[in-house]
């Protein structure tokens, strides 16, 4: 199979090791990813952000294939049992391709709005391990133990720790693809970095008898590639993932789902509500087939139907969202008490006869751009000395463990003037 990709160019899955990708691609569970946008509602701020989890899955598998090729170029000093076999390569490519197969509608937004429901990683495991899923049957036809091995890899567990880190780690193939893909689709350059040089800089750390092999970066030429990668991720969070319009739309959808859940728990019937959403909103458990019926189209169809709901709040919120009458935001500066701003906004909403729980709120967007933690990636110099990246890079040393936080007050558009006056902004 040869595909044309806007990010990586020609992508080929033609060898015995990656031939499982075309077979997985035909499964219903993977085809569902065509109906789930990679960046949820980010297209409300960046019109080109219409790409899907499906294209990202293909990109991640391609990046994994390239990474495996590089690791095989530099594993000659490893003991035979610590090198990548054909079986290892097959399960790694399958895990990279399937790592997002359990995502719900609108990317991470759906599970954030239903915090008691299983996370997408759990749904991915269920899909891979369920004997009735098409994905499971494809994997099991290759090898009976392949579904379990893929599920473990998706969660970052493998007898070769460096392979586990490639699926779930600081420099995993997921991030390697989505930074480039999201930057391309949104039309920004913040997420661009030199993937070719990053891979060319990879090597293994010096072998130690009492420790499994770990990935390393060549200190003479590779440190800048790590810095570029981390900065790309930092800038994408600052400028794209934390964009105020995206966060406002996500907050509104969260409010819609909270309101719908409250009505459903009270026995209200809402038109076009998918069974899985109804069950999870009530705190129940959806079956895997029910969950797999959920996608962006299903959720948008339900919210369109809720515009005619008897509940005026649900109807109003869904109408605003479809017409892009997004809530407004006001930045809460560091050191400023967000609780004070929220209390003021809630009083103003009440005076305007708007439910303060649904028409105003505090949005906290945060991430840690770079954290070494237990990640074994090190920088190796010509004399064999190894150092942590944050110890030898001024940039990474300053970023290590630092938390990027954006706190915003979010409120209905008609409340902007009185809230602005009251806050003095």
Q: How confident is the model at residue 47 (pLDDT cuts 50, 70, 90)?
A: very high
- Domain limits, the chain: 2-187, 243-325, 327-365+404-425
Kindly state which CATH superfamily the domain 2-187 is placed in. Hypothetical protein af1432 (1.10.3210.10)
Measured in whole angstroms, how far is the alpha carbon of residue 60 from the centre of its chain?
12
Cα 351 to Cα 345: distance, rounded to the nearest angstrom: 10
Is residue 365 very low, low, confident or very high in pLDDT (cuts 50, 70, 90)? Answer: very high
Q: Are 51 and 181 in contact (CB under 8 A)?
A: yes
Q: What is the average per-residue pLDDT within 130-155?
A: 96
Residue 374's pLDDT is what? 62
**Secondary structure class of 323 (helix, strand, coil):** coil
Strands, sheet with 360-367, edge to edge from the N-terminal-most edge strand:
328-331, 404-411, 360-367
Residue 185 structure tokens = 């689709």
Average pLDDT score over residue span 164-179: 89
pLDDT at 98: 97
Domain 2-187 and domain 243-325, same fold? Reply is no
CA 127 to chain centre: 18
Model pLDDT, residue 243: 96
Q: Which CATH architecture has domain 243-325?
A: Up-down Bundle (1.20)
Query: Which residues share a beta bridge with 362?
Result: 409
Burial class (CB in 10 A: 0-12, 13-18, 19+), 19: middle
pLDDT in tens, 226-280: 999 999 999 999 999 999 999 999 999 999 999 999 999 998 999 999 999 999 8
Rounded to an integer, the average pLDDT of 372-377 is 71
User: Which residue, 88, 74, 79, 80, is CA-closest to 207?
Assistant: 79
CA–CA dist 315, 422 (Å, integer): 29
| pLDDT band with cut points at 50, 70 and 90 for residue 376 | low
The per-residue pLDDT for range 403-425, each reduced to its tens digit, is 999 999 999 999 999 999 998 76
Is pLDDT above 90 for 80?
A: no
**pLDDT of residue 209 exceeding 80:** no
Q: Which residue has the higher pLDDT, 112 or 396?
A: 396
Among 331, 325, 303, 317, which Cα is nearest to 408's? 331
> Which has more pLDDT, 62 or 220?
62
**For 300-341, how does the pLDDT look when each residue is reduced to its tens digit (9 = 90+)?**
999 999 999 999 999 999 999 999 999 999 999 877 788 899
Query: Which residues have CB under 8 Å from 164's CB, separation 6+?
Result: 153, 156, 157, 158
Q: Report the distance separating Cα 398 and Cα 390, nearest Å.
A: 8
pTM above 0.85, yes or no: yes
């Amino acid at each position: 199979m040869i595909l044309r990709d806007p990010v990586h160019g020609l992508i080929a899955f033609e060898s015995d090791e990656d031939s499982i990708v075309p077979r997985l691609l035909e499964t219903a569970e993977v085809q569902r990813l065509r109906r789930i946008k990679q960046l949820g509602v980010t297209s409300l701020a960046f019109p080109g952000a219409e790409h899907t989890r499906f294209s990202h899955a293909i990109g991640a598998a391609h990046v994994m294939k390239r990474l495996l090729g590089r690791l095989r170029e530099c594993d000659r000093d490893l003991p035979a049992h610590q090198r990548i076999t054909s079986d290892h390569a097959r399960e790694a490519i399958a895990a990279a391709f399937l790592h997002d197969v359990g995502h719900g509608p609108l990317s991470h937004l759906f599970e954030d709005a239903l915090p008691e429901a299983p996370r997408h990683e759990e749904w991915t495991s269920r899909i891979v391990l369920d004997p009735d899923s098409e994905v499971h049957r494809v994997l099991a036809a290759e090898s009976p133990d392949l579904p379990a091995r893929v599920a473990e890899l998706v969660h970052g567990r493998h007898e070769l720790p460096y392979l586990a880190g490639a699926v779930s780690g600081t420099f995993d193939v997921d991030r390697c693809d989505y930074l480039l893909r999201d930057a391309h689709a949104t039309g920004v350059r913040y997420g661009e970095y030199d993937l070719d040089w990053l891979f060319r800089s990879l090597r293994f750390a010096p072998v130690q008898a009492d420790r499994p092999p770990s990935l390393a970066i060549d200190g003479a030429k590779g440190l800048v590639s790590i810095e570029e990668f981390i900065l790309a991720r930092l800038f994408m969070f600052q400028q794209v993932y934390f964009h105020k319009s995206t966060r406002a739309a996500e907050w509104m959808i969260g409010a819609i789902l909270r309101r719908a859940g409250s009505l459903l728990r009270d026995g209200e019937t809402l038109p076009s509500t998918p069974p899985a959403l109804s069950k999870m909103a009530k705190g129940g458990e959806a079956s895997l087939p029910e969950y797999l019926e959920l996608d962006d189209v299903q959720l948008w169809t339900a919210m369109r139907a809720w515009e005619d709901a008897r509940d005026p709040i649900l109807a109003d919120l869904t109408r605003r969202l479809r017409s892009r009458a997004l809530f407004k935001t006001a930045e809460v500066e560091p050191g400023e008490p967000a609780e004070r701003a929220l209390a003021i906004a809630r009083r103003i909403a009440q005076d305007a006869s708007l439910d303060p729980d649904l028409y105003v709120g505090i949005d906290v967007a945060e991430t840690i751009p770079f954290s070494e933690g237990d990640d074994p990636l090190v920088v190796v110099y010509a004399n064999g000395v190894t150092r942590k990246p944050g110890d030898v890079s001024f940039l990474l040393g300053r970023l290590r463990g630092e938390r990027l936080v954006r706190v915003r007050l979010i409120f209905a558009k008609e409340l902007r003037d009185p809230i602005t006056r009251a806050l003095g902004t």
